[in-house]
Structure 1
Amino acid sequence: MISPHAAHAIHSTDLRDRWQARANRRIEYNPGPLGGHAAVVRRNEFVTAAYAEMYLRNPAIYKWAGMAALTSAAVGRGMYMTHYLHQSRLSTAINLFGREVAAIADTLGVGNLAVFHDIYWQHMAYESGGLPEIRRAFRAGQVPRAVYHAWRQIDDGRRTGTPALVWAGNRGLLHYEQRTILQPAVYDGNERLWRRMSGWVLSPIPGQLETIDDFEPGANMAVFEQRWRWIETSMLPRWHALDAEQPARVAEQLQGWLIGGPPFPMPMRLKRRVLGRKLALA
């Protein structure tokens, strides 16, 4: 007979695995090799739709998921664009070699899946079991303290009707994902390459036609402190305003991804920006 203590330990150990399995099914993902370009792009569409669905379930709470849907869609555009540049051998248009373009495409796919793997199961757990389910995962060592603190802020904000707390908690989730998950998966070791891309990558927030180089000339996306300044002082306020002032616009865009539309128009149109040799996705 299994003792109550042992049963609790088994339940705690299995908790993340159970939620992770559900999250994987949501995007039709079987752990293993990432697959070819078509598989990675298709998975990105599923990831984008999953984030959009979570946000639309409760826009007042899941602010991170809404911004993540916008960002994941931008990742999809980036993967499509880099694949197009590589296949057409037009990578020299942005001063990159073919192997560098391929490296960007690979790291975008890796980062997209790494973030989903780390945090979407937590959203599913919270949606189903509230903070007690997150607490169980925290006590089992499956949720870091900083992330648990962020979920507590979100839950406190929900219970007390304090939007500032909800936003603070979602900001905490965003900071953790950028610093702890994306930094090593995407940026570390690729500083020179991302510096060359920093004048090309637009903010994912609709209507914000800004690169990190526009925000802070000479900044490098691969440097966490510089990237976080851009996110915290420029992107987040834009997302906050869009979420508060144009909820119908946000819902319409995210619903389009949810029902199966691709997270970017095809074919993509390239337009040369007026200042410098920058290409924007339109």
Structure 2
Amino acid sequence: MKFSDINKQQQDGQPKQMQQRQPGFESEMNPEPIYDDPEYKGTGKLQDKVVILTGGDSGIGRAVAVAFAKEGAKLSIIYADEHEDAQKTKALVEKYNGECLLIPGDVGEEAFCFSAVKKTVDHFGQLDCLINNAAEQHFQENIEDISLEQFDRTFKTNIYGAFHFIKAAKPHLREGSTIINTVSVVAYEGMPVLMDYSATKGALLALTRSLSENMVSEGIRVNGVAPGPIWTPLIPASFPADKVAEFGTDSPMGRPGQPVELAPAYVHLASEDSSYMSGQVIHINGGKIVNG
């Protein structure tokens, strides 16, 4: 998809809107995020690779699922309870001749994560790539307003979930396997209204780097992608309506990114194209300079 086409679609921003639950529904967003690039043609970079993708029902996860399907991957998509969104993503994967297994559940629960890995391996016979993408965030202007319940919930989804899936997946990975963690620009620069979320992404960044050093001798590569402001269901599910309307306008490019603009980075990190990369993070944030 051409850069100019996305700019044109985003020039008027997005209307005020909110969703009353987290995670949100892609089907209720206005406009709907762009998740498929009709000009992207797969070349078999992930042919017959089996991938577990958490948070794969919508947003960045859906765009990644579509691109991976085009590249020949078989996908196990983990999601909470957004069944309509998940079914649409499954249909998109199958449209591009990919195989897709849907597994709903709570990534914050260790037993579920181990069960999801077992179901994936039992179904596909192997596991080649783990993408920890599931996340939640909650807008709070004052730290005093962050309840212990919210703090625990955010950490369980964003960092405990990744930790559980890594432990469960590790025995099935081998030389050439990859782990990709969705970090965030806020791990580097913070976010005053997403303090607990930022803390989880900082933890995930440190885990990515440490895990890379731990697994590199086994030929398993661990990298991350750090999105900036991306138009996903998390946005109307997290921010007040007036903040949603201006979301992304403070980026150097003056607009939020679209999920489709991130998908090729995940393909790169999951394929042999990145064979000499580990412990690294790709920054896709609309032009913001991030050191680190």
What TM-score does the superposition give when structure 2 sets the normalisation length?
Answer: 0.27
Bigger Rg, structure 1 or 2: 1
Higher relative contact order (CA 8 A, sep 6+): 2
Structure whose residues are more often strand by fraction: 2
What TM-score does the superposition give when structure 1 sets the normalisation length?
Answer: 0.27
Structure whose residues are more often helix by fraction: 1
